[in-house]
A and B are shown apart, each in its own frame.
Chain A
Amino acid sequence: MDLRTPTTEKTSFPAFDIVSTYRTILASDPDLTMPVAAIEALVEAIANSTVNTVAETLDLLTYHTEILKSSIPNPISLSAGTDLFQRYLVTTLNRPASLNLGPEDDFRAIRNHLLSNGRLFVERAKASREKIASFGKHFIRDGATVLTNGGSRVVGALLRRAADSSTMRFKVIYVTSPEDCSDAQGGNKIVADLRAHNVPVATIPDSAVAYSLGKVDMVIVGAEGVVENGGIISRLGTYQMGLLAKSKGKPFYVVAESHKFVRLYPLSQFDLPIDQKVLDFKVAEDVKKPNAEKLTEDEGVADLNTFTTTHLRAADAVDFTPPDLISGIITESGVLTPSAVSEELIKIWF
């Protein structure tokens, strides 16, 4: 590292605002997931830069990745994308032959190839959601009742696809997010959409999951990230759904694109690389004087859509569902058991 960095110090990078690029990309396309948006932003960054060596490209990438990760409150999902892209760059850049380019070709060709491939990746990632939906709809049987939660778009796509097929009648129990949660809107949209497709939907709060479980045939959830041991990181409340489903013997399926596979191995809820303020112990005195904090908190809610807060709000917290609660992970490359995830990750990383 040290050998090649002297010429490219961090300050020498042009002032490309990766964070705002990322946010604009994310905001511009509601169908985009965080890892894909991150990859797109990084491609943009390379396109806007004047790098002309392999080492410089990698340095630029590391630099922007760091900025991006540090300025987003929950970078787990995002880091799946950036890591994947970095890995892809390292393998392709170190083996130019695989691009059908001789070593004598100039770097420009490699870079162009990279940029076009990066965009191709983004296209493919978008398409993968439909593919998952077509795999996953076979899991819903006629007359089934599906329990789901959160505003996961891929779950929405799957349910919609299942609703479109005229042969299937199924019901959905939707666990709604609290109003102040950032994916509450997405959830409402999916519910409205499903109802428009003639699917009966019941909405319940988190606390009614155990109550409703008797009527449920299967649980389908989305995920923010799929971790190395096959567990998932998802919206707060998913873990308890998993536990309850397991205790009642209901199958628990996860739908996630394979670009959400993260190289992360949490051992417990408190082993995640983010700082969540879910447990906030207080005594009477603390409750009396939260005014100062209250202000910033409100600001956070106000700026919700632009994500300016660096602290993760309690409502947007995530939890970790261990692999033994998961029956299957539906991805665009097939339906995997949790233990197969680590195999997939090993394939990517070695």
Chain B
Amino acid sequence: MSEPTGGETAPSPAPIVNDSTTTSGTPAQPETAAPPPAPPSKDAKTTEAAAGPTKLSAAELKKQKQAEKQARRAQAKSSGPPAPQKGPSNKEGAKSQKESKQSSKDDKSKSLPMRRRNSQPSVVTLKETKKESRKESKKDSRQPGLFFGHLYNQPRQHSIVGATKEVHPAILALGLQYSSYIVCGSTARMVAMLLAFKAVIDSYQTPVGTSLARHLTSHHLSPQIDYLRSCRPLSISMGNAIRWLKDIIIKIDPSTPEAEAKRDLISEIDDFIRDRVTAADKLIIDHAVKKIENGDVILTYASSSIVEKTLVHTHKAGIKFSVIVVDSKPLFEGKQLARKLAHHGIPVKYFLVTGATHAVKQANKVFLGAHAMMSNGRLYSRVGTAIISMLAHAQSLPVIVLCESVKFTERVALDSIVGNEVAPSEEVLSEGERQELLPLKPHLPAGLLTKLGESTDKAGVEKANSSGEVLKWIEASDNLQMLQVLYDVTPAEYINMVITEYGSLPPSSVPVVHRLSMDKQETRK
């Protein structure tokens, strides 16, 4: 969906300025190896050298250099298209000085896996370099995301361009569905991934001279996983499922014939889906239905498949209750839920999160879905969930979380900042909203207009009312940026009950059940 927009943004202001001023084709990166093509660049080099020792330790410098080297190599490989180069413009000394400093800082944060989701692919693919370089050029002017800056390091791929050849077609398709939110929701993503892995395993052939147990995970499955991760960061449940799958692959006896091993694996995957999702959902629904009584007003936030199933099931059991769906940007998943519930004949009210205080006053129970349950009993779920649970707690409404134990993780979360996912800024403003903003163009600050200058002159004629332009305004402005995180963390004290397939628990028992379900997995094998 956004690849076209990506293409549009490619000739965005910063790179264009770059193009017009670069005298040599090489990136004017302030690096020691490249011969200084022009005096200003030397300037940049010296400033970099001056800034270096004070800012970076030797190890960091080394890492930075390595990253640069890798990037160069990748660029050399792709020497064909004159992709927008990273690196500061060397037009004005002062500007380049500032920028080079900043880009070096960015480099540092890139090469150090400080707060990132673990293990980004270390091999820089062609596509990623391009993306990164584009991002760099964007970052040159400002630090994105305030304290959410680290989240912008997660790559985001919206096309199959640049995917390595090992990636299976089923995975390619799935990746696109992930990145465009067609397959959305922690459980759905996990199940879809496992089903795609079935196809991957089915078409897998062990190369001569190695065994399936040794080869499949590291050489065949990891590129698939890396690709999926590049489309959208993996969910906790997906991580759990991958860990489980790797575990059973490792445990395959090397003497097992390949066909048999593959068959076993596929049936194991089926069993996993059945045990941990299908059957678990059934049990959870059975538990949860008992908690809904005649006359209840159930409040739910966004959309969770398990909450939906529970409500529909309760309705079919003949219990009279009504539902309030609270919803919010950017995905408006609640609309779907409200529509589906209304179709079943359940009375539904639909609120946006701005009206949550009113919604909470009318409700008497809160049912929430989960992306993950952390080991400190905190709930990691769609952004906005925390507001709802806190409001409900203030009104002393019981907050009930429905969550399969496959979404439990041994990790803990203290805030919503360290681990989260950001939606690209083009997803924050909907098409309609961008259209509405277009007439404001004459009111844009003069500085911004001159910065946009070239592109607006050119593009102004042909597509004056293209909605993509609004995004360019935001991108180019120094003191405005869009931030949309997708998840937040609800502290355990705002949750009264977690219903899992093992029964109902207080949030403090999440680690116990997690340990238990892991043990069960172990003993089953």
Q: Is B513 an interface residue (CB 8 A)?
A: yes
| A338 and chain B: residue at smallest CB distance | B506
CB under 8 Å from chain B, chain A span 302-350: 323-324, 338-339, 342-343, 346, 349-350
Q: Which of A54-62, A93-101, A191-199, A260-268 lies at the binding interface?
A: A260-268
Interface centre among B291, B398, B496, B513 (most CB of A within 10 A): B496
What is the bound-complex CA distance between A302 and B400, given in angstroms?
Answer: 43
| Size category of the binding interface on chain A | 10 to 19
Residues of A within 8 A of B509 (CB): 339, 342-343, 346
Enumerate chain A residues within 8 angstroms of B506, measured Cβ to Cβ: 228-230, 323, 338-339, 342
Asked whether, in the complex, the Cβ of B503 is within 8 Å of the Cβ of A349, the reply is: yes
Looking across the interface, which residue of chain B has its beta carbon closest to that of A270?
Answer: B293
Q: A324-B493, A338-B506 are in contact. List 14 more A-B contacts (CB 8 A).
A: A228-B505, A265-B503, A267-B365, A267-B400, A323-B506, A339-B508, A342-B505, A342-B509, A342-B512, A343-B509, A343-B512, A346-B503, A346-B505, A349-B503
Minimum CB–CB distance from B348 to chain A (whole Å) comes to: 22
Encode contact with B along A226-239: 1 for CB under 8 Å, 0 otherwise.
Answer: 00111000000000
Interface of B is mostly: mixed
Question: Cβ of A346 and Cβ of B504 under 8 Å apart?
Answer: no
Contact A267 B516 (CB under 8 A): no
| A339 vs B497: C-alpha distance when bound (angstroms) | 12
A→B interface (CB under 8 Å) = 228-230, 263, 265, 267-268, 271, 323-324, 338-339, 342-343, 346, 349-350
Chain B: minimal CB distance from A216 (Å): 26
| Whole-angstrom CA separation of A10 from B234 in the bound complex | 53
**Closest A residue to B516 using CB positions:** A350
How many chain B residues sit at the interface, stated as a range, is 10 to 19
Contacts of B181 in A (CB 8 A): none
B504 to chain A: which residues have CB within 8 Å? Answer: 228-229, 265
Sample (8) of A-B pairs whose CB atoms are under 8 Å apart: A228-B503, A228-B505, A229-B497, A229-B506, A230-B506, A265-B504, A338-B506, A339-B508
Number of A-B contacts (CB under 8 A): 45
Q: Name which residue of chain A comes closest to B513, CB basis.
A: A346
Residues of A within 8 Å of B400, CB to CB, are 267
State which of A265, A271, A338, A346 has its C-beta within 8 Å of the C-beta of B512.
A346
Contacts of A346 in B (CB 8 A): 502-503, 505, 509, 512-513, 516
Q: Compute how far the CA of A268 lies from the CA of B399 in the bound complex, rounded to whole angstroms.
A: 11
| Distance in angstroms between the alpha carbons of A350 and B514 in the assembled complex | 13
When the two chains form the complex, which single residue of B398, B503, B512 contacts A267, counting CB atoms closer than 8 Å? B398
Known: A346-B513, A349-B503. Is A267-B291 also a contact (CB below 8 A)? yes
Q: Nearest Cβ in chain A — how far from B493, in angstroms?
A: 8
Which residues of A are found within 8 Å of B497, using beta-carbon distances? Answer: 229, 265, 267
CB distance from A227 to the nearest CB of B (A): 10
Query: Chain B's nearest CB lies how many Å from the CB of A224?
Result: 20
